[in-house]
Amino acid sequence: MSKGLAILTSGGDAAGMNPAVKCCAEYAAQRGYTPYLIYDGLRGMVEDNIVLSSRDLLSGILHRGGTILRSSRCKRFFDFEYRKQAYENLQKRGINHLVVIGGDGSFRALNQFYHDFGVPFAGIPATIDNDIAGTDYCLGVDTALNVIRSSIDSIRDTASSFSRAFVIEVMGRHCGYLALSSALSSGAEICLVPEVPYNLDQIGARLKMEIDDGRRYVLAIVAEGTQMASYLTRWINDSIGMEARLTILGHVQRGGSPTVHDRVMAYKFSIAAIDALDAGLTDAIMVYRDGSYNHLPIHSVADAKYVLDPLLLRLAGPLGN
C-alpha cells in the first residue's frame, strides 16, 4: 500500500509552524512516506492546492514567522460535499495520512474527515492562545510572549517618562494565558483575564495607596476575552486620576521569527506526530504535559476545556484585585 502523507497548517498562524512543516516532511520521507504539502489549509484541501514536497520548497523556511503553507478558516469544510471533494484530491495522489498543525477547531475538522473517509491524522498544537486542552504548550506561544514582552518594555519607557497609565490589550481569544504570563514577566500592576473575577474597587484602593507611596506610572495587561480594555482605560483616567492610554497590540503578536524554544518544540512535536501515524494511531493529538511528550486521542482534547496552570493563577491572579 502506498504511503502518502500530507501536511497542512490551519487556523490562526503561529510561529513554529514552518519548522514543524519542514521537520514533518523530512522525517516522514525518512520513514518511507511520500510527503505532500497542502497550501491554504482546509480550503487548499478542497481546492486541490496540493504539491509534492521538495527540498527547494522546504529550504530557508525555519526562521520565518507565520506559515509558508498559508492558512485559512474554511467554513465550506463543514459541508460533506466539500469534504468529499477534498478526499478525492487526496485519493488521486495516494495520500492516506494527514498531519494538521493548528488549533482544536482544525483537529475537530480532521476528526470529522477521518470519520467520513477513514484518513488517519495526527495533530500538532499550534496557536498563540495556548488554549488547547491536554497540553501545557502550543507552538507559537513563546514567540508571541516575546513580542508582547518587547512591546511592553517599550511602552514602559514612555509610561515612566510621562507618568501615565497604559492599558495593553493582548490576544488569546477566550483564554487569559498570554495576559497572565505577560503581566508576570513585565511586572504589571493590573491584569484582567476572563478566567478570574476582578474587582475594580479593590484595584482602585490598591493603586491609590501605591500612588500615595510614590508610584508614578501604571501598566495594565488586559486579555481580549474580557472586552475590558477601553473601559479600564477610561476608569483609570477618571477614577484613579492618572492620565491613561490604550494600546491594542493586535496581530503583531502573531508575527516574528520563531524563538529557539518554538523551533525545538516544533521538531519534537513533529517527530512524535509522524511516529504516532507510523504506529497506526488514527486521531492522535501531540501534547506536552508536566515536562513529557505524549499524545491523546482527539476526544480527550476536543471534549475538554483548557485549564490554566494553578501556579500561574496564584502568581498573577491577584493583579485583578
- Of 96, 106, 111, 127, which lies in the binding site for ligand F6P, with binding defined by CB under 6 A? 127
Query: Smallest distance from the beta carbon of 40 to ligand F6P, in angstroms?
Result: 14
In DSSP notation, 153-168 reads HHHHHHHHHHT-EEEE
Query: Smallest distance from the beta carbon of 128 to ligand F6P, in angstroms?
Result: 6
Query: Smallest distance from the beta carbon of 63 to ligand F6P, in angstroms?
Result: 21
Is 317 a residue that touches ligand F6P (CB under 6 A)?
no
- Angle between the N-to-C axes of helices 141-162 and 177-186, in degrees from 0 to 180, rounded to the nearest 10: 50
User: Of the two residues 132 and 232, which places its CB atom closer to ligand F6P in the complex?
Assistant: 132
Residues 6 or more apart whose CB falls under 8 angstroms from that of 299 comprise 283
Q: Which stretch binds ligand F6P (CB under 6 A): 44-52, 56-64, 125-133, 261-269?
A: 125-133
- Of 172, 176, 258, 320, which lies in the binding site for ligand F6P, with binding defined by CB under 6 A? 172
Of 13, 40, 129, 262, which one is the catalytic site residue?
Answer: 129
- Of 254, 258, 273, 274, which lies in the binding site for ligand F6P, with binding defined by CB under 6 A? 254
- Of 40, 47, 104, 129, which lies in the binding site for ligand F6P, with binding defined by CB under 6 A? 129
Rounded Cα–Cα distance for residues 283 and 297 (Å): 6
Residue type, 73: R
The phi and psi torsions of 240 (rounded to 5 degrees) equal: -90, -25
Q: Identify the three-state secondary structure at position 264.
A: helix
Q: How far is CA 42 from CA 68, 154, 237, in A?
A: 15, 38, 46
- Of 38, 159, 171, 316, which lies in the binding site for ligand F6P, with binding defined by CB under 6 A? 171
In 3D space, the residue among 99, 91, 102, 106 whose CA is nearest the CA of residue 121 turns out to be 99
Give the three cell numbers for residue 71.
492558512
129 is catalytic: yes
Is 12 a residue that touches ligand F6P (CB under 6 A)?
yes
- Of 173, 215, 245, 268, which lies in the binding site for ligand F6P, with binding defined by CB under 6 A? 173
Rounded Cα–Cα distance for residues 54 and 89 (Å): 19
Q: Provide the annotated active-site residues.
A: 129
Kindly list the residues in this chain that would bind ligand F6P in the complex (CB under 6 A): 12, 127-129, 171-173, 224, 254
